[in-house]
Amino acid sequence: MARTDVPYGMIDDAAIVLADGRIEWVGPRSALPDEFSTGAKTSLAGRLVTPGLIDCHTHIVHGGDRAVEFEMRLNGASYEEVARAGGGIVSTVTATRAASEGELLTMALRRVDVLIGEGVTAIEIKSGYGLDRETELRMLRVARAVGKDRDITVRTSFLAAHATPAEYKGREDAYIDEICIPTLRAAHAEGLVDAVDGFCEGIAFSPDQIARVFDVAKTLGLPVKLHAEQLSDLGGAKLAASYGALSADHLEYLDEDGVKAMADAGTVAVILPGAFYTLRETQAPPIAAFRKHGVRMALATDINPGSSPLNSLLLTVNMGCTLLRMTPEEALRGITCNAAHALGLTDQGIIESGKRADLAVWDVKHPAELAYRIGYNPLHKRIVGAPE
Ligand SMILES: O=C(O)CC[C@@H]1NC(=O)NC1=O
Ligand SMILES: [Fe+3]
């Protein structure tokens, strides 16, 4: 999928040589070097092989659910009435704080196993439903445990700058100084953080508040990413790009200046159709502008109990195409090589010599089938590291 001169970077009638958990060689079967002619062979009968799928934006560790809030909204309750009834992020924070590490892990693994069943071999997992030191650390420990309990690569993102907890209502700056930043330092010291994220939005944190968190991330040598321009344009993506962010995510309200800033910084645009769909958003992210300025586009589930309870990366691909007009090739790059870039992963997301032997084999004839079907999983085999 690395090449862009042929559709999907596809090689017809290919051979892939795996050894010691790595891709040793890939190319046309007719050009297989003699040195590999003696090894064990498995015919895939002409099936499509892609890199293992990568879900680069998830809140998959969380307690509770928001089903009642979903029902209230469909019975006409306003966002405010839901909030007054204790709904919204606050209700998930309460449920997550009350859950043990074991309970959070059991709930997360159930959701992770669905993604694994779709050929996912790497995921990003955020904190952000604790909003206090102990629970934020617990969420990140659970994220690390997911990577130990399943054969899947896990990259964690510290997202205490997700919302202000009830006990700090109206005191956002104090929350950033007294909870968010000290907890970031503690989480980093425990080896729990691969990147630092934030929610830059009127209902969350301002660019200045996010910058204070990012300044600390910089001193700790941690890359950053940002939920930006989801509901309005606060210049979040531009701020993220100024820090060389791995990605800026959502981006429904991003303008062309912001796209150019991302292009100059090499910041990946992570498109999240699950939230666009669930919130019945009408403003689509600037897909054409990303294409025009060469901004890599990734796609992810954003699986979370509120704005995107979407537990399927394959359905995400179909939504990215049907709702947001990405092409099937862009969508497939969006859950492989571009998702790897959004996580700073350099050893996967591409079928290339030297990369991890993380692959997905599909019962389809054409790659576009992975985007076109709705609610259908054509996975034949998932290969992680060593071949069977
Ligand atoms: O509703 C939730 O629980 C999370 C909302 C979610 N978080 C964020 O930064 N943007 C979102 O849509
Ligand atoms: Fe999110």
Is 306 annotated to bind a ligand? Reply is: yes
| Residue located nearest, by CA, to atom 2 of ligand 1 | 306
Is 157 annotated to bind a ligand? Reply is: no
The arithmetic mean of pLDDT across residues 275-283, rounded, is: 95
Residues with CB under 6 A from ligand 1: 89, 92, 162, 199, 227, 230, 275, 304-307
Task: Give per-residue pLDDT as tens, 182-210.
Answer: 999 999 999 999 999 999 999 899 999 99
Residues 6+ apart with CB under 8 A from 134: none
Which range, of 254-268, 273-287, 374-388, averages the lowest pLDDT? 374-388
The arithmetic mean of pLDDT across residues 257-270, rounded, is: 98
* Residue 290: closest CA among 321, 267, 317: 267
For the chain, where are the alpha helices, taking DSSP H only? 67-74, 79-84, 89-98, 101-116, 133-149, 172-175, 181-189, 207-219, 236-242, 256-265, 273-278, 287-293, 313-322, 328-334, 337-342, 369-372
Confidence of residue 388 (pLDDT cuts 50, 70, 90): low
Cα separation, 100 vs 107, whole angstroms: 11
Specify burial of residue 169 (Cβ count, 10 A radius: 0-12, 13-18, 19+). Answer: exposed
What DSSP assignment string belongs to 164-201?
--GGGTT-HHHHIIIIIHHHHHHHHHTT--SEE--EES
Residues with CB under 5 A from ligand 2 (ion): 302
Ligand 1: centre distance to CA 126 (Å): 11
What is the token pair recorded at 249? 């995510």
CB contact burial 276-287 (16+ within 10 A = b; e otherwise)? bbbeebeeebbb
Confidence of residue 1 (pLDDT cuts 50, 70, 90): very low
Is 12 annotated to bind a ligand? Reply is: no
Atom number of ligand 1 nearest to Cα 279: 12
Confidence of residue 39 (pLDDT cuts 50, 70, 90): confident
Q: What is the mean pLDDT of the chain?
A: 95
pLDDT exceeds 80 at position 80: no
Confidence of residue 4 (pLDDT cuts 50, 70, 90): low
* Ligand 1 pocket mutation pick from 66, 70, 199, 253 by most atoms within 8 angstroms of CB: 199
What is the token pair recorded at 61? 């560790």
Q: What percent of the chain has pLDDT over 90?
A: 91
The arithmetic mean of pLDDT across residues 220-246, rounded, is: 98
Cα separation, 113 vs 111, whole angstroms: 5
Is 230 annotated to bind a ligand? Reply is: yes
Is 173 annotated to bind a ligand? Reply is: no
Residues 6+ apart with CB under 8 A from 368: 328, 329
User: 300: how many CB neighbours lie within 10 A of its CB?
Assistant: 29
Ligand 2: centre distance to CA 248 (Å): 11
Cα separation, 270 vs 341, whole angstroms: 10
| Residue located nearest, by CA, to atom 5 of ligand 1 | 307
Atom number of ligand 1 nearest to Cα 204: 9
**pLDDT value for 266:** 98
Ligand 1: centre distance to CA 302 (Å): 8
Single-letter residue type at 45: A
What is the token pair recorded at 108? 């997360």
Confidence of residue 387 (pLDDT cuts 50, 70, 90): low
Cα separation, 139 vs 321, whole angstroms: 32
**pLDDT value for 2:** 53
**pLDDT value for 87:** 85
**pLDDT value for 40:** 85
pLDDT exceeds 50 at position 304: yes
